[in-house]
Structure 1
Amino acid sequence: MTAFVSALDLFSIGIGPSSSHTVGPMRAARAFAGRLADDGVLDRVTRITCSLYGSLGATGLGHGTPDAVVAGLAGLRPDDCDPDDVRGAWSRLGEAGGEVRVAGSRPITMTTGDLSLEPRTRLPGHPNALTLQAWGEGEALPLAEETYYSVGGGFIRREGDAPEESEALRHPLPYDNADQLLALCEEHGVSFCDVARYNEVAVHGEDGIDAGLDAIWAAMAECVEHGLASDGTLPGGLGVKRRAPEVRRRLEEYDRDEHLRDTSTEWLHAFALAVNEENASGGRVVTAPTNGAAGIIPAVGHYYLRLVPGADAAGIRRYLLTAAAIASLVKKNASISGAEGGCQAEVGSACAMAAGALCAVLGGTPRQIENAAEIAMEHHLGLTCDPVAGLVQVPCIERNAIASSTAVSAARLALHGDGTHLVSLDTVIETMRQTGLDMMTKYKETSEGGLAVNVIEC
Structure 2
Amino acid sequence: MISIFELFTVGIGPSSSHTVGPMKATKDFVTGLDLGNVRSITVTLYGSLALTGKGHGSDKAVMLGLKGEDPETVDPELANQLHKDLLDDTKVTIDFTPKLPKGAHANTLDCIAYDKLNKELKRERYFSIGGGFILKQSQPATKASTFDFPNNFKTGDELLSFCIDKDCSISEIVLENEKALKNDTEIDSQLEFLWTTMKDCIKRGTSKEGELPGGLKVQRRAQDLHNDLQSGKIANKATEAMEWLSMYAIAVNEENAAGGRVVTAPTNGAAGIIPSVLHYFEKFERPIGKQELRTFFLTAGAIGYLFKTNASISGAEMGCQGEVGVASSMAAAGLTALLGGNPQQVECAAEIAMEHHLGLTCDPIKGLVQIPCIERNAMGAIKAVNAAQLALKRTLENRKITLDRVIRTMKKTGEDMKSTYKETSKGGLAVFGVEC
TM-score normalised to the size of structure 1?
A: 0.92
**What is the DSSP-based 3-state SS (H/G/I as helix, E as strand, rest coil) of the residue aligned with 1:246?**
helix
Residue 217 of structure 1: SS of its match in structure 2?
Answer: helix
Distance 2:59 2:388 in 1: 40
State how far apart, in whole Å, the 2-side matches of 1:124 and 1:70 are. Answer: 26
Is 1:328 the counterpart of 2:305? The answer is yes
Q: 1:84 to 1:110 in 2, by over 3 A?
A: farther
Secondary structure of the equivalent of 1:203?
Answer: coil
Deviates more, 1:13-22 or 1:226-235: 226-235
Displacement of 1:259 in angstroms is 9.8
Query: Are 2:262 and 1:265 equivalent residues in the alignment?
Result: no
Correspondence for 1:48? 41
Which whole-Å CA distance do the structure 2 matches of 1:226 and 1:115 have between them? 32
What is residue 409 of structure 1 aligned with on the other side? 386
- From 85, 94, 117, give the equivalent of 1:138: 117
Q: 2:165 aligns with which of 163, 168, 187?
A: 187
Q: Deviations over 1:154-202 (max 9, x none)?
A: 0000002142245643311110100000000000011111111110011
- Aligned twin of 1:5: 2
2:413 and 2:434 mapped to 1: Cα distance? 28
**Alignment correspondent of 1:104:** none
Shift of 1:85: 3.3
Change in CA separation of 1:82 and 1:311 when aligned onto 2, cut-off 3 Å:
closer
C-alpha contact (below 8 Å) 1:146/1:159 kept by paired residues: yes
User: How far, CA to CA, are the matches of 1:229 and 1:123 in structure 2?
Assistant: 46
Tell me which of 77, 84, 91 is aligned to 1:110: 91
Whichever residue aligns with residue 211 of structure 1, its letter is: S
Partner of 2:280: 303
SS of corresponding position for 2:160: helix
Q: Is the 8 A contact 2:2 2:145 kept in 1?
A: no
In structure 1, runs of 5+ residues without a counterpart are 99-108
Give the counterpart letter for 1:199 in structure 2.
N
Partner of 1:106: none
Matched, 1:230 2:208: yes
Q: Distance in 2 between matches of 1:302 and 1:399?
A: 18
Confirm or deny that 1:382 pairs with 2:359: yes
Aligned length: 435
2:85 maps to 1:85: no
**1:306–1:452 CA distance, 2 compared to 1 (3 A):** same
Which one-letter code corresponds to 1:189 in the other structure? D
Question: In the alignment, is the contact (CA less than 8 A) between 2:126 and 2:136 conserved in 1?
Answer: yes
DSSP-derived class of the 1:204 partner: coil
Q: Residue 18 of structure 2 corresponds to which residue in structure 1?
A: 21
State whether structure 2 residue 429 is matched by structure 1 residue 451: yes
Does residue 33 (structure 1) correspond to residue 30 (structure 2)? The answer is yes
Q: Is 1:426 the counterpart of 2:404 in the alignment?
A: yes
- After TM superposition, give the deviation of residue 90 of structure 1 in Å: 4.8
The percentage of aligned residue pairs carrying the same residue is: 47
Using the alignment, how far apart are the partners of 2:296 and 2:408 within structure 1? 24
Unaligned runs of 5+ in 2: none
What's the secondary structure of 1:229's corresponding residue?
coil
Q: State the Cα RMSD in Å.
A: 1.8
Partner residue of 2:129 out of 147, 151, 154: 151
Q: 1:360 to 1:166 in 2, by over 3 A?
A: closer
Contact 2:124–2:138, Cα closer than 8 Å, also in 1 = no
Q: Deviations over 1:336-392 (max 9, x none)?
A: 000011000000000000001100010000000000000000000000000000000
Residues 315 and 175 of structure 1: is their aligned pair in 2 closer, same or farther, counting only changes over 3 Å? same
User: Superposition pairs for residues 209-220 of structure 1, below 5 Å?
Assistant: 209-220=187-198
Matching residue within 354, 368, 377 for 1:391: 368
Contact kept in structure 2, 1:5 and 1:325, CA below 8 Å = no
TM-score computed with the length of structure 2 as normaliser? 0.96
Q: For residues 153 and 19 of structure 1, what CA distance do their matches in structure 2 show? A: 5
Relative to structure 1, the CA distance from residue 269 to residue 197 in structure 2 (aligned partners, 3 Å threshold; closer, same or farther) is same
Task: Determine if contact 2:63/2:86 at 8 Å carries over to the other structure.
Answer: no
Q: Distance in 2 between matches of 1:219 and 1:307?
A: 21
Contact 1:146 1:158 in 2 (8 A): yes
